[in-house]
Amino acid sequence: MSDILRPYGDTTGDGMVQMSFTLPMPHTKVAEGAAQQLANKMGMDPAMVVHAKAISPEFTFFVVYGRVHHLVEVDKVRVVERDYPLLSPKEANLAIRKTLRRRMVVVGACIGTDAHTVGIDAILNIKGFAGEKGLEYYREIRVVNLGAQVSVPQLVARAQEEKADAVLVSQVVSQRDAHLLNTREMSAAFREAYPSDKRPVLVIGGPRFDEKMTDELGVDRIFARGTTPADVASYLVHTLAVRRQADRTKEAHAS
Amino acid sequence: MTPRLELDPALVARARELAARAGQPVVDLARQHTTVSVERAVLRLAGLTGTDPLTGGVDGGAEGTVPWVNRVVDAVREQVGLEQGVAMPVWHALTSGDAPSLQSLAESVGAGTARFELPTGGDADRAREAARAAVREGIARIDANRRRREELVALHGDPPRRPWIYLIVATGDIYEDIPQAQAAARAGADVIAVIRSTGQSLLDFVPEGATRTGYAGTYATQENFRLMRAALDETSAELGRYVRLTNYASGLCMPEIAVLAGLERLDMMLNDAMYGILFRDINPQRTFVDQRFSRMVHARAGIIINTGEDNYLTTADAVDEAHTVTVSQLLNETLAKEAGLEDWQLGLGHAFEIQPELPESFRLELAHALLARSLFPDAPLKWMPPTKHMTGDVFRGYLLDGFFNLAGALTGQGILLVGMMTEAVVTPWLSDRDLALQNVRYVLNAAGGLHEDFHPAPDGFIAQRANQVLAESVDLLEKILDHDKGLLDAIADGTFGLMRRPADGGRGLDGVARKSTEYWNPATELLEVSGG
């Protein structure tokens, strides 16, 4: 594979792409021209409006094929790679049994005034998300879902009471940066309540977080939009195993 | 003509008998208990609306404020307990002159001056009569709505064919939902479902007013119901076809939402026996008590319930666990009939969720769909599209939805939920919905009558598979009956959907009260006497 690529239709280097979209206008000749204009502005040249259909008197749907001249520079692509192996529920259960030799305890909540449990429920409830079952389904994970509008002191107390291995917090509402403020308050409270090596793994999730802000927010991991239960379970298994390994090494050195 | 399979009649009879026995302890439990939401539903039937302006409230709005029905029920509970029901203490306060109306009594609860006590003798008779009269008005409105629906169906007509095409709208803002729902109806939808805001099932109150801030759905409120029904009435007249409206009577406020649906002439309600327990961790006792009341209301209102068996298949394997769907359908049927619902009101659910790469997956789907069709010949089964095996590959998804539609046409399903090729990608765009409806229209035009020619061989793959699933269902029902308390214990030990849900666990148990011998509820009295 070369470092410089173009999209492939049926010939190397032809740059052909296909797209579909809707414009809020009646289906007329002008509408088809408008679709063509949009495609041209997006860099498709030539652009072929191959299909146009009135969805209603006010909307028209288009399919456009065309050539783009942009080059893909593969060596300049930057992504955050998953730095842990993705496990199936069965594999995760097995790994927990092997490393922890007991069930993993996960405490989850929406903190502050945020009442949107959609995120935490998608990850924790058995119903799950995107066809994947939630952490409740994992035999070796004990889930304590505290639901919405949990205060930080409540969360810390419950985490201690349940001997949580991990704390999952979901924040959907981001008005006036509430999600960032709440998260900082939460991580500070955990730092205060636990010695650093005993603190549960702190995981935060929500559609408005930047995955690279972990240090700034004082948490171990941030999950953004589209995260599935298996992502979270695999991360927790991996992180707890690494910690366990570090503990053992420390003990070995001490003795 | 409905396609049928030859099922072993002895096995079918056995399955129904076992389901009835498994359901009996749940019915007994529901008769012996009441809940805060059942009692609030009584006050709603008597016309109490609105919220206490001095509670909560986000930015001065009404959305976070506590409804008066909650305030009154909580006050009665605090002062005299819930075990006698709220009707006697509340109407005693009214007939003894503490307040001129239910509304002003609620306000005195807000002010902290209301005093409740249980009346005796002549006072009790007066309170009982007044409560009956008040609740009768709400039930009369539900009856009038049922008659009105029948008139409108007669006037505008039913959809020209089965299955009815069921489409979901979910913007979070009722004023966005309305034009979208109208557009969907114009594009061919026969049934509009407004999905609720995420998390509403766990709220122990019903939000109030027209709402614009739902998340991944729009709050179920009485005003939202009214606005949407009025808009669809306009569209029905325009289209010459009665467009039905659906919402959710599920979660912690099932009884109240059922009442609101009856009061605002909704036509179908999602209302499953076990969904809240298994998938939302709502307390089993709370669920079964609330559910029986809500189903009595639906029966009276002429509402078609939709059950949620499709959900089992989103968490379990659609082939291995096919019989759990059948068992749940049988349980839903027996509990629904006990509550007064008739066959035509049972939109029993099932879904097209078999792994598409599995050899003969389509034949297996047909077998399962035909089993449901043959087992419940007079119920308008609700056929749910693929979700679990929908990926970001929208092109493949479109094909899968086409096969789903074909299976629906071939097996004579009653209600077909339109599948979206962008399932698991985005909430449906305008164009997604249009493409999905084109898919349905093509299949129903091209093959709508194919069920007339479709007679699977009695000893063939489809018939054998259907009988096998039925046999597995009977085995599972027998296993449920091996438990001391039948269904409740089976739910507790994880027989369904892999989840263990003990009878004293989950949300909402504190809202359940065992009825005393003094218990009296004018709504159940009126619904039981004259109910179906």
Restricting to A residues 69-98, those with a Cβ less than 8 Å away from any Cβ of B are none
Backbone angles phi, psi at B430, to 5 degrees: -55, -45
| pLDDT at A82 (0 to 100) | 83
Cβ atoms of A117 and A110 within 8 Å: the answer is yes
Whether B397 and chain A come into contact, CB under 8 Å, resolves to no
Query: CA A221, CA A214: separation in Å to the nearest integer?
Result: 6
Q: B435 to chain A: which residues are within 8 Å by CB?
A: 61
A127 min Cα distance to partner chain B (Å) = 6
pTM score, whole prediction? 0.85
Q: Look up residue B414 and give its two tokens.
A: 């009653």
Q: Quick check: is A127 catalytic?
A: yes
What lies within 8 Å, CB to CB, of B439 at 6+ separation is B398, B401, B402, B405, B419
Question: 3-state DSSP call for residue B32?
Answer: helix
Q: Does B424 touch chain A (CB under 8 A)?
A: yes
Mean pLDDT within A233-238: 95
Answer yes or no: do B429 and A128 touch at CB < 8 A: no
Q: Do A126 and B215 touch (CB under 8 A)?
A: no
Say which range, A87-101, A137-151, B327-341, B512-526, has the weakest mean pLDDT: A137-151
Residue B113, CA distances (Å) to B89, B98, B110 in order = 15, 10, 8
As to burial, measured by CB atoms within 10 angstroms (0-12 exposed, 13-18 middle, 19+ buried), residue B154 is: exposed
Q: Which two tokens stand for residue B119?
A: 């009346």
Work out the number of other CB atoms within 10 angstroms of the CB of residue B170: 20
Which chain B residues are within 8 Å of A126, Cβ to Cβ?
A: 278-279, 315, 497-499
Q: Which two tokens stand for residue B274?
A: 């076990």
Shortest CA gap A50–chain B (Å): 16
Residue B312 touches partner A, C-beta closer than 8 Å: no
Domains of chain B listed by start with CATH number: 46-136 (no CATH), 162-248 (3.30.750)
Domains A4-74 and A89-254 share a fold: no
Q: Which of A202, A207, A201 is nearest to A118 (CA)?
A: A207
A127 contact residues in B (CB cutoff 8 A): 279, 311, 314-315
**pLDDT, tens digit, 9 for 90 and up, residues A47-82:** 999 999 999 889 999 999 999 999 999 999 877 678
Give residue B56's pLDDT.
63
Q: What pLDDT is attached to residue B60?
A: 43
Taking CB atoms and an 8 Å cut-off, how many pairs form between chains A and B? 62
Chain B CB contacts of A147 under 8 Å are 202, 507
Catalytic pick among A98, A127, A163, A250: A127
Round to whole Å and give the CA distance between B102 and B78.
18
Distance from CA of A196 to the nearest CA of B (A): 33
Q: Kindly indicate whether the domain formed by A89-254 is annotated with CATH number 3.40.50.1220.
A: no
Number of neighbours of residue B7 by Cβ within 10 angstroms? 17
Task: Give the C-alpha separation, B449 to B1, whole Å.
Answer: 9
Letter string b/e over residues B76-110, b meaning 16 or more CB atoms within 10 A of that residue's CB: bbeebebebbbbbbbbbbbbeebbeebeebbbbbb
Interface contact A148-B202, CB threshold 8 A: yes
Secondary structure letter of residue B450 according to DSSP: G
Task: Kindly name the residue from B52, B267, B272, B310 that is annotated as catalytic.
Answer: B310
Q: Give the closest of B187, B434, B497 to A61, CB-based.
A: B434
Contact at CB, B186 and A56, closer than 8 angstroms: yes
- The percent of residues above 70 in pLDDT, for chain A, comes to 95
Residue A46, preceding peptide bond in cis (omega within 30° of 0): yes
What's the pLDDT score for residue A153? 92
> What does the domain layout of chain A look like in residue ranges?
4-74, 89-254
Here the tokens at position B478 are 């027998």
The answer to whether the beta carbons of residues B197 and B214 sit under 8 Å apart is: yes
CA B432 to chain centroid, in Å, comes to: 26
CA–CA separation, A185 vs A193, rounded Å? Answer: 12
Catalytic residue among B275, B312, B398, B519: B275
Tokens of B318: 């659609």
pLDDT at position B278: 84
- The vertex-A115 CA angle with A110 and A118, nearest 5°, equals 75
Chain segment A204-231, per-residue pLDDT in tens: 998 788 888 899 999 999 998 778 899 9
List the structure tokens of A124: 């924790």
Cα–Cα dist B28/B515, whole Å: 12
Spell out, as residue ranges, where chain B has pLDDT lower than 50.
Answer: 59-62, 531-532
pLDDT tens per residue across span B428-453 = 888 999 999 999 999 999 999 999 89
CB spacing of B279 vs A126 below 8 angstroms: yes
Instruction: Tell me the residue type at B198.
Output: T
| Residue B195 per-residue DSSP state | P
* Burial readout A164-191 (b: 16 or more C-beta within 10 A, e: otherwise): bbbbbbbbbbeeeebbbebbeebbebbe
Interval B328-362: pLDDT, tens = 999 999 999 999 999 999 999 999 999 999 999 99
Rounded CA Rg of chain A: 24
Pairing of strands A72-73, A4-5: antiparallel
Contact A233, A92 (CB under 8 A): yes
The string of DSSP letters for A187-253 reads: HHHHHHHS-TTTPPEEEEE-TT--TT-HHHHT-SEEE-TT--HHHHHHHHHHHHHHHHHHHHHHHHH
E strand residue ranges, B55-185: 66-67, 164-169
pLDDT band of A196, cuts 50, 70, 90: confident
A61 to B183: CB separation less than 8 angstroms, yes or no: no
Pick the CATH number of A4-74 from 3.30.30.60, 3.50.50.60, 3.40.720.10, 3.30.960.10: 3.30.30.60
Instruction: Point out the least confidently predicted range of A32-46, A105-119, B7-21, B427-441.
Output: A105-119
Q: What pLDDT is stored for residue A115 in this prediction?
A: 60
